[in-house]
Structure 1
Amino acid sequence: MSEPDVYRSPQAVARAISDAAQAAARRSGRPVGQIVRQEDYRRFLARVFIHGDGEARWVLKGGNALLARVPEARTTRDVDLLGRVEDLDDAQRELELLVSEDLGDHFTFALSRTKDQGRGDAQPYLVGRRLVFDTRLGTKKRGPISVDLVVGTQPIGQIRSRKPQDILGLSKLPNAVYQLYPIEDHIADKVCAMLESHAGGMPSSREKDLVDLVIMALVDDGWAIEAGSLRQALRIESRRRKLDLPDRLVAPSSWGSGYASQVKQTAAQGFATVEAAMGLMRDFLDPVMAGVAAGRWDPRSRRWG
């Protein structure tokens, strides 16, 4: 008798995720709970993108966009979504409807609270909304999913379709092709967040952004980064934030321990210190910021050309 192509009960899903996560943890050294949590995010995002219409109405940003390409990227606590509509309320209603769909995986997501967000660290010129969804597998409550939702902005680079890297290999759980925020825009967001000063002239404390930049410089998955497009994204993002774009990237002198703790067990762990990471940035970003880079970035040779 053949195996059913779906899990018959929530308990069977929970057991399959737990077993696969333990195996993945042995391979990667990452905590089991962290891997299980990422599968909860995948269950949520499958609902957002399962009926993709080819128009990229929803675009995944932030850490989960990087994790979709690189399973060894830094884990994240939130889902960052761009709704390509003008009205935030309309986007929220549409998202609620999407994630309420039954995909046969025994997960449910229900909006529990919202909070309008003003200017934040990531992209301070945007106004968005934090949505928190209660998550259940059958009747058992799991950790809530927090979504940072923004609307109305147009990225500079090309939105790409990508099926997420699946380290658990659970073929009975439905997945979808994601629409991912352009890599040039993602890099520009991170660079400008590093450059910004905050209240009292305090420098950025977002050492995690440097981890992400190292990973984006190293990933070799056929998604080419064009020097001209990246330069344009940096110019536009810095203008939006009212920043003067320098001709090289400098990390705040206070950075060190935060970076070192967050780079562990990621694809960037070979660049274990801020000094090592900034050495890579001298090749990756400084030529673009100075306007002298041309062609495409080669993550193998770590050169433009």
Structure 2
Amino acid sequence: MRYKEPESFRAALEARIRQGAEGQQDLARQRRTVAFDRFLSRLAVTKHQAWVLKGGAALEFRMPQLARATRDVDLSLASDMDPADVLVTDLDGDPFGDHFSFAVTRRRELSENAERGPIVRLSIDALIGVRVFEKFVVDIVRAADGSPSSEFVELGRVVSFADLPLVDLPVINLRTHWAEKLSAYLTRYEDRPNTRVKDLVDLVLLIEYGLLPEAELYAEVLATFKNRDQQIPKGPLPSMANEWAVPFAKMASELTLTTKDSVSAHAAVETFWRRAVNNAVPPTGGDISTH
């Protein structure tokens, strides 16, 4: 049924969230998921269709029962305009009659990131009526030339009780996603250790989800590393398994991963990558694993 007043919609929504949540941690995750869903639904119905969902939120909407929980939204924008200006324009109004609105409360320009390029980070308040429902962060990067080939995720099911329409939003394809995760996993910093355990978790998750080590995946890895001016290791992939043993085991225990320890996880990534290399056609006169 449709809800004419914000407070009646909010009461019905929160009752359903409480009913479906398994503990306080899951309650918080479900609230974020609803806020993400209504936020992203607005970007899905823009005329310019320039937004692509990336990162952990992309995995959450692809595989809600399998992916790790994420606290922010990563987007790429295929536009030369200022990302914050485009976002504010696209969030204007209530195209669904869901009583949600979104306010940008803070903007930060992050220094250029070797993995992702320049990032605009926005703090967002999600409101129902005049009351804040949830707060989250959005990171926006400019889409690479040609933009990542995309698939779609369906939005709107979390509020289907209110007879709101389902919409589709472009999402980074799985091969590109795996390539970007591999790039992040292999990145080493001069001034600090790499602590992005979630990248190894996501690499394994995508493998267990059914991603295939095809030549097309190899091509995506090459394109991603070239775009980031990053070298693919000639030999075995550098491992963070020893350093990440404890946090990886904790994260894996919270998911349905078959791979439960970091050593096995790194081995799975190594094997998967070598299979992709072997399935690719070697460039003339070159070493396929390093170009």
Q: Same fold (TM over 0.5)?
A: yes
1:254 alignment partner in structure 2? 243
TM-score w.r.t. structure 1 length?
A: 0.80
Letter in 2 for 1:43: R
Number of paired residues?
Answer: 277
Structure 2 CA distance, aligned partners of 1:170 and 1:225? Answer: 36
**Given the superposition, is the C-alpha separation of residues 180 and 82 from structure 1 closer, same or farther in structure 2, using an over 3 Å criterion?**
same
**Given the superposition, is the C-alpha separation of residues 205 and 110 from structure 1 closer, same or farther in structure 2, using an over 3 Å criterion?**
same
Structure 1 CA distance, aligned partners of 2:279 and 2:158? Answer: 35
Give the Å deviation of 1:208. Answer: 0.5
Check conservation: 1:47, 1:98, Cα contact below 8 A: yes
2:14 alignment partner in structure 1? 18
Specify which of 178, 181, 194 is matched with residue 187 of structure 1: 178
Q: Secondary structure at the match of 2:11?
A: helix
Share of identical aligned residues, percent? 25
Task: Establish whether residue 70 from structure 1 lines up as the match of residue 73 from structure 2.
Answer: no
Give the Å deviation of 1:122. Answer: 4.3
Give the Å deviation of 1:152. Answer: 4.2
**Given the superposition, is the C-alpha separation of residues 76 and 156 from structure 1 closer, same or farther in structure 2, using an over 3 Å criterion?**
same
Specify which of 123, 129, 132 is matched with residue 132 of structure 1: 123
Which 5+ residue runs of structure 1 have no aligned equivalent?
A: 296-305
2:208 alignment partner in structure 1? 218
Letter in 1 for 2:108: K
Alignment deviations for residues 149-175 of structure 1 (CA, whole Å, 9 cap, x no partner): 111413675311231484675353444
Letter in 1 for 2:113: G
Give the Å deviation of 1:225. Answer: 4.5
**Given the superposition, is the C-alpha separation of residues 29 and 279 from structure 1 closer, same or farther in structure 2, using an over 3 Å criterion?**
farther
Check conservation: 1:82, 1:150, Cα contact below 8 A: yes
Alignment deviations for residues 219-270 of structure 1 (CA, whole Å, 9 cap, x no partner): 25xxx656222112212222333332125434313111221222333342x3
Q: Which runs of 4+ in 1 moved over 3 A?
A: 154-157, 164-171, 247-250
TM-score w.r.t. structure 2 length?
A: 0.84
Task: Establish whether residue 264 from structure 1 lines up as the match of residue 257 from structure 2.
Answer: no
Check conservation: 1:133, 1:146, Cα contact below 8 A: yes
Task: Establish whether residue 244 from structure 1 lines up as the match of residue 238 from structure 2.
Answer: no
Check conservation: 1:196, 1:203, Cα contact below 8 A: no
Which 5+ residue runs of structure 2 have no aligned equivalent?
A: 282-291
The CA RMSD measured in Å over matched residues stands at 2.7
Give the Å deviation of 1:101. Answer: 2.2
**Given the superposition, is the C-alpha separation of residues 16 and 86 from structure 1 closer, same or farther in structure 2, using an over 3 Å criterion?**
same
1:298 alignment partner in structure 2? none
Letter in 2 for 1:74: R
Q: Secondary structure at the match of 1:31?
A: helix
Task: Establish whether residue 205 from structure 1 lines up as the match of residue 195 from structure 2.
Answer: yes
Kindly report which structure 2 residues correspond to 1:40-189, keeping only aligned pairs within 5 A, or say none: 40-51=35-46, 56-72=49-65, 73-87=67-81, 89=82, 91-102=83-94, 103-120=96-113, 122-123=115-116, 126-154=117-145, 158-164=149-155, 166=157, 170=161, 172-189=163-180
Structure 2 CA distance, aligned partners of 1:211 and 1:279? Answer: 13
Kindly report which structure 2 residues correspond to 1:26-37, keeping only aligned pairs within 5 A, or say none: 26=22, 31-37=26-32
